Chain A
């Protein structure tokens, strides 16, 4: 499986640019890590349920009611770019 690992394609999925040097290095290092974790294939997990969480709690609900929290100024205080009480985002539709 690790033979099919393609760092370039995976980096695209992760929205992460990498240098050519990083691509070469990660291809080798992550392939080694994958070869190590592949020994999990030998474990018999037939009939075993997955554990997603250490505590078996599901669907914790609260009342859908407004409460005091960030003002627009608070929310925008750390924005690298903002104007008119809005975040400025890159152009999404060409």
Chain B
């Protein structure tokens, strides 16, 4: 098997045994990217020379020693651009590492390559990038999901061993599902966001894209933990997330939320997820039907809270400290207005306007405060369900990857693509998407994702449950046929 096709676990074994050097791994990966990425456009940039130089001091005895990791272009890496796939960050170069990057480096990893995304992580298809859209490796006429579509696509296409993404309403899990890989959104507060360009601060969380569940646990081990520079990161003990992998599922109770098995889901997705549920039963898990009655309100609550927070977070792009600045402005307001008009793309503008409106005088109580109250009801739904079960099992996305261009001018329809992932962020709980089958669509095989949702800070058990399914099925071994 070619090196870039390996998992972290497997390439790490070769690095430790000194069968290959970090430089050889990087060169092979770079060659693979040069071959494949013209068809995928998962990367916005990469700097092989800088990575090779950094690799000279890589300590292969460390947990991720010598392993290159791709980074969503919304996380700051010292010395590199960080565009958020937006023209407004034109010319910006980070002069500090995000905490997750500092931690990856401490674990021996080599940050390599910047992944495409929907501008400022706003979108579900990676079509909102100012620098061209990313294509799904399983069918390049289709979208890879979003907003971390570049991170998902490069891992699926063996252009990366693993990647970091961010998940505000499903932006890790949905593209992982649509690209047929593993995507983990940790508990809110599990991973520091210091150095992540903020979208919606009460929802954002950084997490890994990997080829296997074990790799996901290794990545979480490296990036988790309290950080004094992110006051929302919690001082919870960080266990070894690989410790429970391989344990059987006797006594584990999985809940099927009835609101996640509804009309309107792609029948092939529904069938694959129901088959996965039966598979879990055969592995010894007990299946219980549960209800999350406020699920139908999640998308509405999300698009109030997320846009409100975004409108405040994106106020910092004012053309003064970094990024694009309009020339020849006639005054202060014209300077702001034109800098932002020229720098932001259509979806970002739409969300800034919506978020500004729901926070504006006279509408705050009716929209924002009410949404926060319904958010409480959504959280309570999950708390009640977790009194009966250890984890929830459901589809990640109601559909497989759709055709590029199909929804780019219908924002509401695009927002509904996140119907099964959004409530997780509102509740702050961890979630993972793993491959559970393929849909046959027009002669093409398109991946289907199984979503497992866990109790706060119980990622270890979530990974154990995911791993048991993965290791007793073959879905994760399938790879798209690319050049």
Contacts and interface: CB of A to CB of B under 8 A. Distances in A.
Contacts of A89: 320
Contacts of B357: 5, 10, 30, 34
B375 interface: yes
A34 B315 CA distance: 22
Nearest to B205: A54
Nearest to A88: B320
A65 B277 CA distance: 54
Given A26-B350, A62-B228, A91-B332, A14 B189 contact: no
A54 B350 contact: no
Interface stretch (B14-22, B90-98, B135-143): B90-98
B321 to A, nearest CB: 6
A13 B340 CA distance: 13
Contacts of B426: 51, 54
Contact of B349 (A18, A40, A70): A18
Contacts of B93: 77-78
A48 B373 contact: yes
A37 B368 CA distance: 11
Contacts, number: 167
Interface in A17-40: 17-19, 22, 26, 29-30, 32-34, 36-37, 39-40
B127 to A, nearest CB: 16
Interface string B333-365: 111111011001010011011101100100100
Contacts of B329: 90
Interface string B313-333: 001001111111100010111
Provide the main secondary structure of the chain A interface. Answer: loop
Contacts of A10: 353, 356-357, 360
A37 B301 CA distance: 7
Nearest to B330: A90
B376 interface: yes
B81 to A, nearest CB: 10
Given A52-B372, A54-B202, A54-B427, A43 B341 contact: no
Contact count band on A? 35 or more
A87 B320 contact: yes
Contacts of B294: 43
B473 interface: no
A17 B315 CA distance: 14
A84 interface: no
Contacts of A49: 373, 376
A51 B95 contact: no
Contacts of A62: 228
A72 interface: no
A70 B95 CA distance: 9
Contacts of B311: 14
Contacts of A60: 231
Interface of A: 1, 5, 7, 10-11, 13-19, 22, 26, 29-30, 32-34, 36-37, 39-41, 43, 45, 48-55, 57, 60, 62, 70, 74-75, 77-81, 87, 89-92, 94
Given A50-B372, A60-B231, 15 more contacts: A10-B353, A10-B356, A10-B357, A13-B360, A16-B349, A34-B354, A37-B300, A40-B370, A53-B428, A54-B203, A54-B425, A55-B188, A57-B232, A70-B95, A90-B331
5 closest cross-chain pairs (CB), A and B:
A54-B428, A50-B372, A78-B322, A17-B337, A80-B325
Interface of B: 91-93, 95-96, 188-189, 202-203, 228, 231-232, 234, 294, 297, 299-301, 303-304, 311, 315, 318-325, 329, 331-338, 340-341, 344, 346, 349-350, 352-354, 356-357, 360, 363, 366-367, 369-377, 379, 411-412, 415, 425-428
7 contacts: A15-B336, A16-B352, A33-B411, A45-B377, A51-B375, A77-B95, A81-B325
